[in-house]
Amino acid sequence: MVSGRARQRVAYTSVPAYADLSWLFTALQGMIFESFVAAAGGDWFMISIKSPIGYIAQECRFMESPQGPQLVGVNLWSYKAKVELREKPSLDPSYALYYPSIILQLDIFDRAMNEAWPQ
């Protein structure tokens, strides 16, 4: 019989993640989107997605056909879809271990570079 604490093991390091996405399109953009969906089907495609670490290019695919079009306002069309992301957006684990204070102060650096930096 073994005594002591149980040891936890990570079974997989790369697991899929899911995201609910929504878009607002003009009529022309909606036509292009519907053509893209028909052509892509269940294939993987690249899209820029906003996540807690910023906008990043992600490889994803539709889990089901997008919902829509639904008229929003006067001339915009809303579409919604659930997609599977090939990998969950995250920072390199070493940043959290060795540089957590830098991560917490990234907004200060961003403001300094974009607002206060002389032209």
The tally of domains found in the chain comes to 2
Interval 70-94: pLDDT, tens: 999 999 999 999 999 988 777 767 7
Tell me: do 83 and 96 sit in the same domain.
no
Interval 95-116: pLDDT, tens: 666 666 766 777 776 677 677 6
Domain limits at 35?
Answer: 17-88
Domain membership of residue 9 (yes or no) is: no
Closest CA to 58 of 79, 18, 15, 87: 87
**Helices vs strands, H then E, count in the chain:** 4, 5
* 3 pLDDT higher than 70: no
Closest CA to 14 of 81, 96, 82, 89: 89
Tell me: do 101 and 56 sit in the same domain.
no
The three-point CA angle 70-72-74 to 5° equals 125
pTM value is 0.67
Domain membership of residue 3 (yes or no) is: no
Domain membership of residue 1 (yes or no) is: no
Tell me: do 82 and 27 sit in the same domain.
yes
Interval 36-67: pLDDT, tens: 999 988 899 999 988 877 788 999 999 999 99
